Structure 1
Amino acid sequence: MARFKYQFNPHTLKFDVIRIPLYKQFAKILIHLGFYAGVFLGLGYTFSVIYDTPVEQSLKRANAEYVLKYELAQKQIFELSNALAVLEAKDNNIYRAIFEADTIPNTIRRGGYGGVDKYANLRSATNSLTLIKTLRALDELTWRAYVQSRSFDDVAEMAKNKEKMILCVPAIQPINTKDLIRVSSLYGFRRDPINGAITMHAGIDFVGSVGTPIYSTGDGIVVEAGYSFHGYGNHVVVDHGFGYKTRYAHLSKVLVKVGQRVKRAEEIGLLGNSGKSTGPHLHYEVILRGKPVNPINYFNDMTEDDYQNMLKKYSSQFLD
């Protein structure tokens, strides 16, 4: 930077030498530096707006690649979710229905991944919505697959016990067809024969003679045997497992005791008129998972000869 400058003097007609102060020299240097720096920064900013740097280009390519991978993962998760939904529907409507097991509600199938926001630490990340959506869908799919796996384990166990289940599920009429006089009341709402009120009749009433043998309709364990003060009189309740119980009420005599194992077609009591009853009959109930169901759905179609042969077969086994 020049320390002197020349200025024309009109009086002497000569150029006078003028010394430039140091502070002015320094100020001029700063002005030039500021100008060039501003030009440089302006050009750099303009270039960065119009063109990406190699680093930025690399980062953008990597980011685009990750977004594409997330989108592909979401598509695969969606396809797997649809496939799992088909299995869930078959499980509830076919597999579990075959064994009359409770269906698994959606509140359980889809309810295991809620609660605390486990993705809170990801909300500040780039493309956080895509990332959180993918992880949430993956967690849901994992939980549903776990529930379905456990359900298949249950179904497999029930399938292994199918033969035992066939013997235990109530499947015959509790009174010999030749001893049956008539059926007086079916399952459903009816007018109570004693007080006249419309009430729910939870079983079927078989009319017969006092002392007629009553048979267990499936293999099981006696859980109640004796007099009931709830209107059943002398009654027997057999727990057949697999969610089933049967009740035999208004008996004249109970022939089994609590804890005793009984077989299908084994005699457990004698028809009577005890308890809340207007005449000799058997009140028979089928109870599935704590709720009475229509017993008529559990009578296998068989001829009278078939029924007699079944009773004879059981009697011979019992005597042996």
Structure 2
Amino acid sequence: MSKVKYYYDPDTLSYRKIEPKKSRRYRNIAFFILGSFFFGLLALILLMNTNLINTPQELSLQREVNNYELQFELLNRKMGQMEEVLANIANRDNNIYRLYFEANPIPEEQRLAGFGGVNRYKSLEGFNNSEMIIETTKRLDIIKKQMAIQSKSLDQITKLAEEKEKLLMAIPAIQPVRNEDLKHMASGFGWRTDPFTKARKLHRGMDFSAPKGKPIYATGDGKVIRADNNSSGYGKHVRIDHGYGYKTLYAHMSAYNVKRNQKVKRGDLIGFVGSTGRSEAPHVHYEVWKDGERINPINFYYGSLSAKEFENMLKHAQQENQSLD
């Protein structure tokens, strides 16, 4: 109930009731409605920009955003684990694999380098979670790059390993005659007495004395380049090219078991002990060549001799006795 207002009338010496004009009443009503409208609009705007009142669609979208943030957090944890694994592989790659195969290590800067030049992540800017999305995308890109570098490195290591295996199998590493067939190691590499002229002569191989007909074996993988009797003094002999600058020669055979251009493996039977050519008794004259130079074969028996057997051979090889060819 609105208050009734009065005013004092000096003419009548009495209070009279104030009667409001209709225009003022309508104006007050209009101001009230207009004020209520603006107040309500302001309240609506404030509510729409707060989390106090959300529509079902907004609540659903908010749940999706929260889920995406959780997924991003889980993804970052997994990327952290992947980075640890890649760091471990890179460490072994540089300090074990590449070191063993004598390959240069990959610099850390190259493995961890980002992407320069054009802003690759411009399309991800301007969102509420742009910083998180861009950072996660950068980490993924770097991990992908690290994996590509590591993959190429492991491909290279695989090739080096295959080449290393071929090299190890090609290097002469066993005796041409088995110990059970061997009478004795007749003569070593160095100055020896020639059995025919009795003069001191440089003996450029090793002589293995064995009964005629005993098997002779290839000391490393390679290809037969000669199996003939056309070289003075060697008689029937076989020469094998092992690659990597290595060649071996097996002389004074009684018979061949291989022919020219035939590929052989270490331990393959290539011929039989004899005394053909310039020879005093049945034996194998064995030579090792490296880059065109004849070298001492004593250093190439690690694949067939024990430490004691090698020591015994070394003792006999150092004796300046008479050779058999």
Q: TM-score range by the shorter chain?
A: 0.3 to 0.5
Q: TM-score, normalised by structure 2?
A: 0.46
